């Protein structure tokens, strides 16, 4: 193994961009890059460690000994150490051993820009070089149409480690997911899949939200090219791929980003802004140019190298507020004396401006749980620039309403209608995510009151209401077939339940709702606009019934929705009809026997000139128990 040869991939322009926080393709420069130099094969290494007094590459090629392969520090005060090591090739293991000027601290770190890592609990980085040939040219050409805000967006949220496992409880591989998961998502009719974090993480109970390898798909399921194949196969089947992305915090693991070069390099040095008390993790320093470039480069890496169609940004609220989860005296106000993190706000604006300006047909989605204004407004209008935001208030209010025994729901009608007072203030996605089925909250099914039939009827009603409410949709895996137990990341979903009629009925219902959502423009063309929704009657609390209209561009495509939140059938129930149609057809009924319902249907629904609900026309229908009906 030869000595380190001075070499650089950086130009002066690269360095200037890096120092100013504007280099968004750092993954092309930093990290390990197999290459040939003067006819000799080897690997170029580059790492940012400005307070280091020496940086050695240690690995399986030098017995993990320090000193044989010391990198050279650049002269330009960028803090970058670099060099070419002959003979190091794809598959070699390595770390950086960093001796700091800061109190002689020595650290051994995984490469922040590594493309591949050892499988946890091992922690070394792996030299990697990909040669994947993409086959999704068609998708990449028309995904702008598929991913638009006026298109169907029905998301299946997946934790790869527990969606399905082998009979002996081992992980499936990326290649197995490319067959089984793709086939299932396509059959169920979801338009997108969202993966909980796939970036390398050391600790399974974190579910992937404590990252140490931001540029490496986790090796638990295979190598980076195999993950690319999974994304590619999704695209070839017209399924978009969203990744959970975590720029909010990172763990203090010894091989991770914390105290990287013996200093607070990636994390904020002030503990009040650099440590997260809830997750016992470190918070990025959003005011440091090089850290912003690291994070935005990481977002671009997944969009660029892995053809990802969207990023769901985790824990946005924790980034926006200096006092998030902090008591008085544990945080310091900004220069204006309030609690907003101005540096994080600036970071989000820069991130979204760059992504939407440089990647066609992608979306960024904020998991933001507060009433922060303008999350999905464009940056040029003063917003943060996200494409969508999770509607956490809707989710909490809806689940609280559904938990109540139907006899009491008439006293809480306002809880289920309140969301429409703010539904169009942002571009909202309606989430029933993994967070709602853990830590004693119970599964969606077992949150429902009543006997077995009523529980399943309530769940069918919940999904029907969700798919007809304005906004896009997200369902966590298992919910779509009525998983009865809470989610357990250590085991497969209970797929055997789909052998039972009630569970297979829920599965069939979600499949049909996806079909209707994709095929009826009234449900998506104006899903973020008040023009796409009209109440018929939200005041019938005595019967716990809601009726409303969903509208698209063409009035003849209007859909009429009726929800009955009690187990009492409502016969001859009159609903006002805004337009002068002659008849309505029932196109969906959650009480259909094929879904596990009682089978009460409406056949010929004649529109009469009897005024009702302030409209000149009306119809009389039967509302089955605990049901959603859609008419056209």
Q: Any idea which residues carry the catalytic annotation?
A: 314, 367
Backbone phi, then psi, for 288, in 5-degree steps?
Answer: -95, 120
The C-alpha atoms of residue 419 and residue 398 are separated, in whole angstroms, by 9
Q: Hey, which bits of 380-495 come out as E strands?
A: 388-390, 428-432, 472-476
Q: How many CA atoms lie within 13 A of 127 on its CB side?
A: 25
Exposed / middle / buried, residue 454 (Cβ in 10 Å: 0-12, 13-18, 19+): middle
Residues contacting residue 190 through CB under 8 Å, at least 6 positions apart = 154, 155, 156, 239, 475, 514
Give the other-Cβ count within 10 Å of 250's Cβ: 25
Q: Are 393 and 384 in contact (CB under 8 A)?
A: no
Q: In the block, which residue shows the tokens 């495509």?
A: 557
List the structure tokens of 331.
């945080």
Cα–Cα distances (Å) from 214 to 42, 151, 209, 294, 523, in that order, read 24, 30, 11, 10, 37
The C-alpha atoms of residue 318 and residue 311 are separated, in whole angstroms, by 17
List the structure tokens of 78.
């960028």
Give the other-Cβ count within 10 Å of 44's Cβ: 20
- State whether the Cα torsion 300-302-303-306 is positive or negative: positive
The C-alpha atoms of residue 162 and residue 345 are separated, in whole angstroms, by 34
Nearest to 263 by CA among 224, 228, 291: 291
Q: In the block, which residue shows the tokens 């000595």?
A: 3
Give the other-Cβ count within 10 Å of 128's Cβ: 22
Nearest to 546 by CA among 419, 425, 392, 395: 419
Nearest to 539 by CA among 443, 416, 401, 424: 416
Nearest to 120 by CA among 216, 218, 256: 218
């Amino acid at each position: 193994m030869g000595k380190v040869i001075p070499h650089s991939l950086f130009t002066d322009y690269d360095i200037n961009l890096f120092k100013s926080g504007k280099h968004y393709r750092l993954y092309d420069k930093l990290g390990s890059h197999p290459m040939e130099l003067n006819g000799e094969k080897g690997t170029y290494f580059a790492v940012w460690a400005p307070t280091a007094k020496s940086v050695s590459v240690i690995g399986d090629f030098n017995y993990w000994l320090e000193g044989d392969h010391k990198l050279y520090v650049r002269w330009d005060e960028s803090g970058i150490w670099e060099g070419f090591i002959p003979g190091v090739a794809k598959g070699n293991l390595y770390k950086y051993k960093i001796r700091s000027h800061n109190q002689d601290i020595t650290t051994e770190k995984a490469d922040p820009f590594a493309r591949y890592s050892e499988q946890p609990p091992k922690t070394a980085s792996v030299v990697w070089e990909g040669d994947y040939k993409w086959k999704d040219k068609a998708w990449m050409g028309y995904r702008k149409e598929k991913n638009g805000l006026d298109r169907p967006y029905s998301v299946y949220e997946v934790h790869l480690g527990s969606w399905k496992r082998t009979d002996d409880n081992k992980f499936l591989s990326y290649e197995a997911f490319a067959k089984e998961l793709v086939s299932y998502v396509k059959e169920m009719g979801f338009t997108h899949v969202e993966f909980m974090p796939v970036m390398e993480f050391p600790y399974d109970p974190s579910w992937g939200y404590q990252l140490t390898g931001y540029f490496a798909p986790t090796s638990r399921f295979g190598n980076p090219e195999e993950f690319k194949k999974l994304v590619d196969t999704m695209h070839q089947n017209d399924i978009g791929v969203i990744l959970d992305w975590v720029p909010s915090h990172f763990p203090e693991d010894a091989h991770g980003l914390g105290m990287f070069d013996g200093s607070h390099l990636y994390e904020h040095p002030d503990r009040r802004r650099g440590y997260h008390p809830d997750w016992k993790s470190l918070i990025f320093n959003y005011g440091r140019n090089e850290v912003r470039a690291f994070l935005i480069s990481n977002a671009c890496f997944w969009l660029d190298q892995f053809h990802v169609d969207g990023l769901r940004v985790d824990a946005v609220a924790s980034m926006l507020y200096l006092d998030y989860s902090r008591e008085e005296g544990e945080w310091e106000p900004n220069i204006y004396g309030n609690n907003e993190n101005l540096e994080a706000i600036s970071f989000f604006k820069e991130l979204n401006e760059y992504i939407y300006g440089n990647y066609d047909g992608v979306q960024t989605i904020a998991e933001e749980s507060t009433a922060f204004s303008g999350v999905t407004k464009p940056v040029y209008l003063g917003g943060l620039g996200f494409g969508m935001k999770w509607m956490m208030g809707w989710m909490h209010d809806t689940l609280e309403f559904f938990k109540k025994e139907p006899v009491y729901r008439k006293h809480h009608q306002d809880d289920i209608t309140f969301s429409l007072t703010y539904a169009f203030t942002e571009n909202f996605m309606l989430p029933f995510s993994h967070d709602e089925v853990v830590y004693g909250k119970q599964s969606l099914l077992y949150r429902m009151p009543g006997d077995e039939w009523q529980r399943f009827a309530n769940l069918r009603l919940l999904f029907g209401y969700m798919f007809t409410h304005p906004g896009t949709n997200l369902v966590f895996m298992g919910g779509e077939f009525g998983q009865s137990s809470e989610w357990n990341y250590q085991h497969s979903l209970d797929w055997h339940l789909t052998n039972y009629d009630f569970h297979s009925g829920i599965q069939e219902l979600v499949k049909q709702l996806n079909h209707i959502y994709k095929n009826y423009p009234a449900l998506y063309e104006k899903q973020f606009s008040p023009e796409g929704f009209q109440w018929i009657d939200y005041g019938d609390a005595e019967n716990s019934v809601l009726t409303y209209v969903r509208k698209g561009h063409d009035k003849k495509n209007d859909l009429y929705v009726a929800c009955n939140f009690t187990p009492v059938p409502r016969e001859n129930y009159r609903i006002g009809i805004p337009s002068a149609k002659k008849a309505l057809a029932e196109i969906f009924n959650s009480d259909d026997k094929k879904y596990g319902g009682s089978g009460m249907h409406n056949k010929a629904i004649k529109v009469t000139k009897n005024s009702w609900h302030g409209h000149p026309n009306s119809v009389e229908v039967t509302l089955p128990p605990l049901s959603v009906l859609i008419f056209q």
